[in-house]
Amino acid sequence: MHISAFGAALRTPDLRKKILFTLGLLALYRLGAVLPTPGVDYAAIQRCIDVVQDNSVYALINLFSGGALLQLSIFALGIMPYITASIILQLLTVVIPRLEVLKKDGQSGQAKITQYTRYVTIGLAILQSTAILSLARTPGALFSGCNETIIPNDSVWVLLVMVIVMTAGTAVVMWFGELITERGVGNGMSVLIFTAIIATIPAQFASILGSRGAFTFTITLLVGLAVIAFVVFVEQAQRRVPVQYAKRMVGRRMYGGTSTYIPLKVNMAGVIPVIFASSLLFLPTLFVQLTGSQAGWAQWLQQNFGTGTGTWYLLTYFLLVIFFCYFYVSITFNPTDVADNMKKYGGFIPGIRAGKPTADYLDYVLTRLTAPGSLYLGLIAVLPVFAFGGLGVAQDFIFGGTSLLIMVGVGLDTVKQIQSQLQQRNYEGFLG
């Protein structure tokens, strides 16, 4: 069905243009991910990467940047500053009334919040690029165990140019994401993360095959396929709340009298909680790395949160995913607003009074759905780490659960968008 949808999309001229436009931007994104920033010794970078592989403290952000971070390319920061800025703005929306008003102000308010997100993104990009380059200028600081000189000329002007280039690269990546959303296929930021992740997976599988042998490689593939099948099954699951619209006369015409439903997915939050939780858990080890502290608490953080496979890391990760799942669902689906809109247009849930009782019922159903949905997200994010760890490939296939969940979630959303646009064009052709 999905393959036929892609085939039909490629046969539709305007959809084909959108798909080719998206693929063109993704190609430019991957090109920028391998172009080194001016002032970087590319050969030294490659030698250091061979030494540390994916055991670096930057494994997560390097994953989301498609391997660009450790190469200090022009797109080294990838989409992470934008993700962090989005987290900050969404958290502030809850506590700052002005932002809450903008959020409820429709398209114009959302445009204003998007503008604020861009400003915060640029600020974070400047801070992150400065921090990373301050480590890179000292041999052995960015790549533990590799004493190569990565930046031969570490004068102030050279470092300033590098910060400007990496910050501009982040702005271009953000622009690519917005262009894909507006003129391409799928959610731009999610598609960029998807592309960055799948770009690193072939090398990870090749590493597993070379170091562990064909049997372990086959078992790893089977575990990955089992996780993908389970994710697809749960992502498609939804609770359909029936809605009936009463008949009413408007002028001489009769409206209403139809039945429909509100589709409430088991996983209403998608992959956002996993991305948010992963991003936050990256900060403690980054802080330790930047400060260079050798205190007891710093060593404890490095030991338990530095590898991404420690017990404390996984427990915190699991709890954060559950928290962000409830948080994100609460800010994206407002039962009171839905109930008010239903009442405004004469809709009601059979057996439930309109107004506040409807809002309470929707809130009850949503809470019951979010509980298994959040547990599912947490388990999918954590359990593959144990499975891959048991196979001895956790260091080669780092953040396996996170990678698979994001890949499948974004892939399903993109395919659904293509199918919905195809259906829309079929209806337009029928009506025409």
CB 36, CB 45: distance < 8 Å:
yes
Pair 418, 6: CB distance under 8 Å? yes
Summarize pLDDT for 58-74 with one digit per residue, the tens: 555 566 666 677 778 88
254, β-bridge pairs: 249
Instruction: Name the band, by pLDDT with cuts 50, 70 and 90, for residue 1.
Output: very low
pLDDT at 179 over 80: yes
Q: What is the pLDDT of residues 106-120, one digit of tens each?
A: 778 888 888 999 999
Return the pLDDT at 126. 93
Q: How far is Cα 300 from Cα 388, in angstroms, rounded to an integer?
A: 24
Distance (Å, whole) CA 323 – CA 87: 13
CB 380 within 8 A of CB 230: yes
d(CA 211, CA 225): 21
CA 78 to mean position of chain CA atoms: 12
If pLDDT is split at 50, 70 and 90, which confidence band does 165 have? very high
Read off the pLDDT of each residue in 139-149 and give the average, rounded to a whole number: 74
Is the per-residue pLDDT at 255 higher than 60?
no
What the block records as the tokens of 295 is 């205190």
Mean pLDDT of 209-228: 79
Give the count of alpha carbons within 13 A of 351, CB side only: 4
How far is Cα 325 from Cα 332, in angstroms, rounded to an integer? 11
Is 359:343 a contact under the CB 8 Å cutoff? Answer: no
Q: Alpha-carbon distance 134 to 251, whole Å?
A: 71
pLDDT at 397: 56
- Residues ≥6 apart with Cβ < 8 Å to 207: 53, 396
* Residue 299 pLDDT: 76
- What is the number of other CB atoms lying within 10 angstroms of the CB of residue 337? 11
Q: Report the mean per-residue pLDDT for the chain.
A: 79
40, 47 Cβ separation under 8 angstroms? no
Which residues are within 8 A (CB) of 418 and not within 5 positions of it... i.e. 6 or more apart? 5, 6, 9, 15, 19, 185
**The predicted structure's pLDDT at residue 431:** 44
Cα–Cα distance between 229 and 198 in angstroms, integer? 17
Q: Out of 39-43, 82-86, 255-259, which region has the weakest mean confidence (pLDDT)?
A: 255-259
What does the block give as tokens for 274?
């996993």
Residue 207 has pLDDT above 50, yes or no: yes
CA atoms of 114 and 407, how far apart (whole Å): 25
pLDDT at position 385 over 80: no
Alpha helices per DSSP H over 184-307: 188-212, 214-236, 272-291, 296-305
* Beta carbons of 237 and 370 less than 8 angstroms apart: no
